[in-house]
A = this chain, B = another copy of it.
Amino acid sequence: MKKNEIPYKIYLSEEEMPRSWYNVRADMKNKPAPLLNPQTFKPITEEELERVFCKDLVQQELNETDRHIPIPQEILDFYKMYRPAPLTRAYCLEKKLQTPAKIYYKFEGNNTSGSHKLNSAIAQAYYAKKQGLKGVTTETGAGQWGTALAMACAYLDLDCIVYQVKCSYEQKPFRREVIRTYGAQVIPSPSDTTSVGRKILQEFPGTGGSLGCAISEAVETAVSREGYRYVLGSVLSQVLLHQSIIGLEAKLAMDKYNIVPDIIIGCAGGGSNLGGLISPFMGEKLRGERDYRFIAVEPASCPSLTRGVFAYDYCDTGKVCPLQKMYTLGSGFMPSANHAGGLRYHGMSAILSQLYHDGYMEARSVEQTEVFQAAQLFARTEGTLPAPESSHAIKAAIDEALRCKETGEEKTILFGLTGTGYFDMKAYESFNNGTMTDYIPTDEEIKKGTDGIPRFEGNNF
């Protein structure tokens, strides 16, 4: 390496790793609106939240003032098993694109969960263990979050019950087996282990289930079993807090080499990765210290930021979870069946929604075949086979780099490579075979979804 040359990968040493999470809400003038009780539409109380979530996590969920929250040593030790994640300079992609732009990505796929989800899973499992609980429950679709939680619970010797959407359970048996290898119980949802599951099975025998139903079963199990709580892998402000480790590491790695990104790009589903990646940079922008462009990239088939409304809505289709004020397509919105690329959540993190609403962030939507084209190009030049979710960010990063090629600007682009696509080969297969299609919801479909958002005092949109 020549002097001052940027290496392909920048690793922090263990001493350099962040020891606190960063709470971006502390720097926001307009805080996210409070969560509402789904029955009363009144701000939810600490006590009500503690029936569902662990105490410490409720504190984190409600904490809008502490800028830095120390990471407990036990979590730091777990992080050391797979972190720091590398910040990688995409030299080969730059060369392929012949762009003057400098492209960096923060890679979070170097662990068996295959994504950044592990960062919050270990935190949530740790606080459950600390509270003396026996176990946690959750839902999972394709299985990344379920895998991450099972890994964290295996490490802490905590019971883990995962309700997996039945059609995923049956059609994607490999993630299920990973979860089982880590000792978690995987239950296809709807199931006869809960009253809500039994009711749905009676009404719709043979149904493949839905994420909404799986959430309802996981919550019911958590509140009805002694010593159990429910945990969630995205959307919540506590999750963004834990995921700030992504951005903090990226920023430290960049600072080491005096690299300042002009544009920071992340894919956006519920917002856990995007929020985590941009948080410390956003903090500088909110405090007026430095300006950055932030771009949220979402699938055209599930466009909550770009086509949704900013309103109070249920976080789950089952309407058992609190409401939060966010950009939403309506909790009944379901992306088209041909949608393969993840990021299928109807809403968006309250923090990110507020920041977007206040003009601190841009958003754009991309279609899935162009996303897989970007994924293929990335795989062939940079080696790593990306997750479909991550590939939304890749697509936008490539577009920005090509824009630099046109204008001759040497911009520095940072994007989040949230994970690997090793369990998404069915989607890659349809892309490889040329049978993948795109779908953009009609205005009518969007309207139908948002018409389901509850109308009540204070929900004017």
By a beta-carbon cutoff of 8 Å, the part of chain A in contact with chain B is: 1, 7-9, 11, 13-15, 77, 80-82, 91-92, 110-112, 114, 151, 154-155, 173-174, 177-178, 180-183, 376, 379-385, 420, 422-423, 425, 428-429, 431-432
Contact = CB atoms under 8 A, between A and B. Distances in A.
A241 to B, nearest CB: 22
Contact of A81 (B8, B81, B114, B376): B8
B425 A422 contact: no
A431 B92 CA distance: 41
B428 A81 contact: no
A381 to B, nearest CB: 7
B181 A9 contact: no
Contact of A183 (B81, B380, B385): B380
Contact of A112 (B80, B151, B379): B379
Given A14-B1, A155-B381, A155-B383, A80 B178 contact: no
A81 B92 CA distance: 9
Contacts of A380: 154-155, 182-183
A189 to B, nearest CB: 20
A183 B429 CA distance: 12
This chain: how many copies in the complex?
A: 2
Given A92-B81, A155-B380, A380-B155, A181 B7 contact: no
A423 B424 CA distance: 11
3 interchain residue pairs of minimum CB distance? A174-B425, A154-B380, A8-B80
Nearest to A420: B112
A385 to B, nearest CB: 4
B155 A112 contact: no
A300 B130 CA distance: 44
Contacts of A384: 82, 111-112
22 contacts: A1-B14, A7-B13, A7-B14, A7-B80, A8-B14, A81-B92, A81-B383, A82-B384, A92-B155, A112-B384, A154-B379, A154-B380, A155-B380, A155-B381, A155-B383, A173-B429, A177-B432, A178-B385, A178-B422, A180-B432, A181-B428, A182-B380
